[in-house]
Amino acid sequence: MSTDQDEPSSADPVEPNAPPPPPIREEEVEEQENRQMQVAMKMVGSAMVFIGFLQVFLSVNTGAEISIFPMIIYFSGMALWAYSSVDTPTIRYAVMAVSLLCAMAFMHFGEVLFWHKYMIYWGTVGMVVFFMFQTPKKPASS
């Protein structure tokens, strides 16, 4: 009668002479956490832009009135997306400042006019076209 404890199992993944795994550096952990936070902000920002734009798009097509909340959602999402996606700090903070300024202007103004909706609509279409035809940069090999 043999038990499982008497014989070593062949599916045991630990080799007796294998070196221990290298310790995880603190910088790598922080870098991975920052990358995860950037991805989460990109996703939330993109979803907010999409939700705000969808309401603007439906309003433009049907001629219905909308409140300021889709605009606030749209511009807040644009600021989140810019913070997590744009690499150049000058452009990043300029986009964030303009987005938040537009959201505050809609809050102050209190209504969305016809030309506001068309500016958002065509601005978003232009931005999508711009990023769609931009080629990604290849990393420099050293």
Q: Where do the domains of the chain lie?
A: 41-131
Give, for 140, the enclosing helix (H) or strand (E).
Answer: none
The pLDDT assigned to 94 comes to 92
For residue 126, pLDDT over 90 is answered with no
The DSSP result for 59-106, as a single string, is HHHH-----SHHHHHHHHHHHHHHHHH--SHHHHHHHHHHHHHHHHHH
Query: What SS3 state is found at 122?
Result: helix
For residues 87-116, average pLDDT? 90
Residue 70, number of CB atoms within 10 A of its CB: 23
pLDDT of residue 32: 82
Q: What is the mean pLDDT of residues 49-59?
A: 92
pLDDT for res 53: 92
Please state, in angstroms and rounded to a whole number, the distance separating the CA atoms of residues 109 and 134. 35
pTM of the model: 0.71
**pLDDT single digits (tens) 25-44:** 777 777 888 888 889 999 99
